[in-house]
Amino acid sequence: QVQLVESGGGLVQPGGSLRLSCAASGSISNVIAMGWYRQAPGKQRELVALIPRGGKATYADSVKGRFTISRDNANNTMYLQMNSLRPEDTAVYSCTYKRIGIDYWGQGTQVTVSS
């Protein structure tokens, strides 16, 4: 089992920045990828950013150049740095660790971009 806890969400004005954190605990071996998804009200969940094991990060077109995914392996923590935030970035952001055949999810953290 893998337990994931997100933090760092909140209310920010357009153009502002937030950094989300995803702390992992439990049996985190054999993880093949980790990433961030988001779900806005009335919309389907969408991939924001993904880091495959040993590979290069990929991003949704809507966040390229504004968001950066990173990880601190020593502390089992993953981050999502979000800059130049827009109202359309408002959503619940969830982190995920993926193994073959199973995905683990955090509880999500709300990000609201509004003036």
> What does the H/E/C string look like for the chain?
CEEEEEECCEEECCCCCEEEEEEEEECCCCCCEEEEEEECCCCCCEEEEEEECCCCCEECCCCCCCEEEEEEHHHCEEEEEECCCCHHHCEEEEEEEEECCEEEECCCEEEEECC
Whether pLDDT at 64 is above 90: yes
Give the tens place of pLDDT for each residue, 14-31: 999 999 999 999 888 888
Average pLDDT over residues 50-63: 93
